[in-house]
Structure 1
């Protein structure tokens, strides 16, 4: 029995010594910034409408703290929110706690040129997309494709493959496929198309068959990507 007992006593001594040395370490609790948003997290505006940012309430362990605000145009890269310029703006609110830890929250502001699809195809659209004829629920009613006019009068389409990768596959904005068309006659569905690429993937895309239907408030088109895929896209206009 003595031979068995001695190792046990030795082991207990080692354990108690370890606990004593660890007792000098003190854990510190930090409270990360918490945000309460004033107003809606998504705001929809027609071009030219005013926007007064209602801001947020930032707190640390229940106490109100200061925060900063920054803006980024998702499509055009602007750093200020200009309601005369159509874009999807991300407003980011940032606060830092007393230990230097940062927290953020965001608001989306959609500034939309609301065209009538008779002589203007600009607008904000949900997208339903098939690839090589395959219909899958995850690629239906995706949010959002924006169409707006460029300074040269052409129309910019934020994703010429209907958000298939950016939203449907959840790859994000780096996989947008920005496209451009010139409307020779919207009523006659006569457009000039410009070749474009698919974000990070690259490759060449050719759009054709764009049809704007004011009765159904839809725009549809087909894009052929040289990677071997054909996208049929149906955009449904969001009423702002």
Structure 2
């Protein structure tokens, strides 16, 4: 009986080993996927005056040398001043997504009645604004911060004397922070506010500036 029992145990263990090997036979098999590569035609930022024509240049997408379908989300109304985002997306053969975004800014076709050039403050921190042309400015401290290396310099637009917007800028500070604003609000020539979306250091608190 003892001998038969030992033989039975050997058979059972052998069976488990063979079963285990069969179950794990695909455990170390890996799958290669080729991610979608998107190439934008034209500029990522387009600035137009109200009433001008927007031309869609599109985006090309491929993966492993094969052309992919590109879908576009968003629209542009050139008759209405504002900021419009167009998102281009594509899926590779395994369903992995990739996307790019184009920003279209439509400026009022009326001469601006509000000049935002000058020095503004947030608390005790100064933000100097220089006018580049009608409705286009650059500021040297977009968050009203007090650490010089992290002060963000952004070009921005007075869209229609009510809305203000700074497009995405890479390495906008000496420390390498990239940033973009929301569509902020102009109260009058002495007061405006926005939120800055930065790659580091800053949160999304509203930044209020006063002359």
TM-score for the superposition, normalised by structure 1? 0.51
Q: Any idea what SS the aligned residue of 1:88 has?
A: strand
1:172 CA displacement: 5.5
How many residues align? The count is: 160
What is the match of residue 110 of structure 1?
Answer: 105
1:69 CA displacement: 0.3
1:28 CA displacement: 1.0
Output the CA distance in 2 between the equivalents of 1:44 and 1:38: 15
Q: Aligned in 2, Cα 1:180/1:130: closer, same or farther, shift over 3 Å? A: closer
1:140 CA displacement: 5.4
Structure with bigger gyration radius:
2
What is the match of residue 99 of structure 1?
Answer: 94
What is the match of residue 70 of structure 1?
Answer: 73
Q: Aligned in 2, Cα 1:138/1:116: closer, same or farther, shift over 3 Å? A: farther
What is the match of residue 221 of structure 1?
Answer: none
Output the CA distance in 1 between the equivalents of 2:147 and 2:110: 28
Output the CA distance in 1 between the equivalents of 2:104 and 2:143: 30
- 1:141 paired with 2:153, answer yes
Q: Aligned in 2, Cα 1:19/1:114: closer, same or farther, shift over 3 Å? A: farther
Q: Any idea what SS the aligned residue of 1:110 has?
A: strand
Q: Any idea what SS the aligned residue of 2:140 has?
A: strand
Output the CA distance in 1 between the equivalents of 2:142 and 2:104: 28
Output the CA distance in 2 between the equivalents of 1:120 and 1:109: 22
Output the CA distance in 1 between the equivalents of 2:162 and 2:141: 20
Q: Structure 2: 5+ residue runs without aligned partners? A: 1-17, 116-133, 197-203
What is the match of residue 213 of structure 1?
Answer: none
1:32 CA displacement: 1.1
* 1:40-51 alignment, distance < 5 Å: 40-51=43-54
RMSD over aligned Cα, in angstroms? 3.9
1:49 CA displacement: 0.9
What is the match of residue 61 of structure 2?
Answer: 58
1:137 CA displacement: 5.5
Aligned 8 A contact 1:130 1:136 in 2: no
Task: Output one character per residue of 1:72-104: Cα deviation in whole Å (capped at 9) or x when no partner.
Answer: xxxxxxxx2111222232221101112111111
1:63 CA displacement: 0.8
Aligned 8 A contact 2:142 2:153 in 1: no
Q: Aligned in 2, Cα 1:136/1:114: closer, same or farther, shift over 3 Å? A: farther
- 1:178 paired with 2:173, answer no
- 1:86 paired with 2:81, answer yes
Q: Aligned in 2, Cα 1:206/1:28: closer, same or farther, shift over 3 Å? A: closer
Q: Structure 1: 5+ residue runs without aligned partners? A: 1-16, 72-79, 184-190, 210-240
Task: Output one character per residue of 1:187-206: Cα deviation in whole Å (capped at 9) or x when no partner.
Answer: xxxx6x58x68684369x46
